Amino acid sequence: MHICRLQLSILHLSSIQLTNFRNYTEQNVSFCGGLNILSGLNGAGKTNLLEAINYLCLTKGYFHSGDIGAINFKKEFFRLQGEFITERKIETISLAFQSGTPKILKHDEIIYEKLADHIGKFPLVVIAPDDIALIIEGSEDRRKWLDNTISQVNRLYLDDLMQYNRVLAQRNALLKLWSAGQSRDEDLMTVIDKQLVKIGKQIHAERKKSLQILISLLQKHYAFISNENETALMNYDSLLNESDFSKTLITNREKDMMLQRTTAGVHRDDLDFLLNEFSIKKFGSQGQKKSFLIALKLAQFDFIAQNKNETPLLLLDDIFDKLDQHRSEKLLADATSKNRGQVFITCTDWKQTIISDKLSKYFIVENGLIK
């Protein structure tokens, strides 16, 4: 008999322990592998719990930057521990942080030498109200989103990014010295340029390749969510698409020295989000922007799932507050469809989430306590 196998294996967080993390002092929670619904008043600690999950998967916060703020106001350190169930086994991740010392991250009691080694092992995608910044703010948010997406499936890409940033910092430091009047070491600059070009080209190629897949996924999800006949698109806007990066760096040397920074390279790349070829930032309605954003995140989810053969965790923060009913229902329908794995939803009224026959578990969050 032919045995039908599920295509994707499902990653799931079975339990988490929070110690002195934001408004939690000591908390243990067990989750189900399907839908986990956390309801509670504003300020109860729902987003803080999602933040803790983001820490365990990606070693840092999603909603806030900086680790010091994540320590409970009255304490000196925080610690998080999660038990993840992967295809075959249970894996324990713990993360501890104390101000003034590096974060300590352990995988089954083994301490990571580099936090970056952890990225991609427990993939996740977050959809939150402030994500609208991806559309309306500057290019940095869009680069971060793309980098986060590719890094979760490609460790070499993350290495390249870190290496690129190191070389870029060296180049900028040298430009500063030159601009302060130090005699110019053109040979050193040429060596730095060469490194920047090599890594920059690798990053560009990987972004280009990944975007081809992400675009088709984006279009599929946008069509589903919006029910409209518009075509969603994102164009990769990079100097490296057409120009010779190496020559540009040489041509720009004088200008860069005056500005004391490197003005061309993949650190300036951007994504143009378009609907029917019009900029969504300039011409899109609120609703179109929200649909685009959700489609983008679901594309991210599928991209990671396909590449890793495993469903990422999906964290949906406050979707009912910021989305109209039509869109939240569409999102919920999509998020709970059979090709998703474990989902976390926060809301102020759990009744909004009674939707599917997917295995669900309900939690009430109250003042840093979860019941």
- The contact set with ligand ADP (CB under 6 A) reads 22-23, 40, 42-48, 69, 71-73, 365
| CA 260 to chain CA centroid, nearest Å | 30
Q: How far is the CB of 317 from Mg ion (least distance, A)?
A: 6
* DSSP state at residue 231: -
Query: Which residue's CB is nearer to ligand ADP, number 72 or number 170?
Result: 72
Q: How far is the CB of 371 from ligand ADP (least distance, A)?
A: 14
CB 363 within 8 A of CB 370: yes
Which position among 27, 36, 47, 54 is part of the footprint of Mg ion (CB under 5 A)? 47
Query: Which residue's CB is nearer to ligand ADP, number 71 or number 225?
Result: 71
Nearest-angstrom CA–CA distance, 225 and 295: 7
CB 318 within 8 A of CB 152: no
Query: Which residue's CB is nearer to ligand ADP, number 33 or number 129?
Result: 129
43 binds, among ligand ADP, Mg ion, none (CB under 5 to 8 A by kind): ligand ADP
Q: How far is the CB of 135 from ligand ADP (least distance, A)?
A: 22
Query: Which residue's CB is nearer to ligand ADP, number 19 or number 152?
Result: 19
Q: How far is the CB of 338 from Mg ion (least distance, A)?
A: 28
Helix (H, G, I), strand (E, B) or coil at 252: helix
| Sole residue written with tokens 């920074």 | 261
Query: Which residue's CB is nearer to ligand ADP, number 73 or number 242?
Result: 73
Q: Is 342 in the site for Mg ion (CB under 5 A)?
A: no
Nearest to 199 by CA among 141, 115, 266: 266
Query: Which residue's CB is nearer to Mg ion, number 125 or number 316?
Result: 316
Q: How far is the CB of 205 from ligand ADP (least distance, A)?
A: 39
- How many Cα atoms occupy the beta-carbon half-sphere of 11 within 13 Å? 22
Q: How far is the CB of 22 from ligand ADP (least distance, A)?
A: 4
Q: What are phi and psi of 314, to 5 degrees?
A: -120, 120
CB 320 within 8 A of CB 348: yes
- The DSSP bridge partners found for residue 110 are 107
73 binds, among ligand ADP, Mg ion, none (CB under 5 to 8 A by kind): ligand ADP
Q: Is 48 in the site for Mg ion (CB under 5 A)?
A: no
Stretch that binds Mg ion, among 38-46, 96-104, 194-202, 290-298 (CB under 5 A): 38-46
* Angle between helix 155-179 and helix 139-151 axes, rounded to 10 deg: 140
Residues 6+ apart with CB under 8 A from 3: none
38 binds, among Mg ion, ligand ADP, none (CB under 5 to 8 A by kind): none
Query: Which residue's CB is nearer to Mg ion, number 40 or number 312?
Result: 40
The amino acid that residue 330 corresponds to is K
State which residue has the least CB distance to Mg ion: 47
Q: How far is the CB of 262 from ligand ADP (least distance, A)?
A: 36
Nearest-angstrom CA–CA distance, 71 and 93: 18
- Alpha carbon dihedral 271, 277, 278, 279, in 10-degree steps, equals 0
Residues that bind Mg ion (CB under 5 A): 46-47
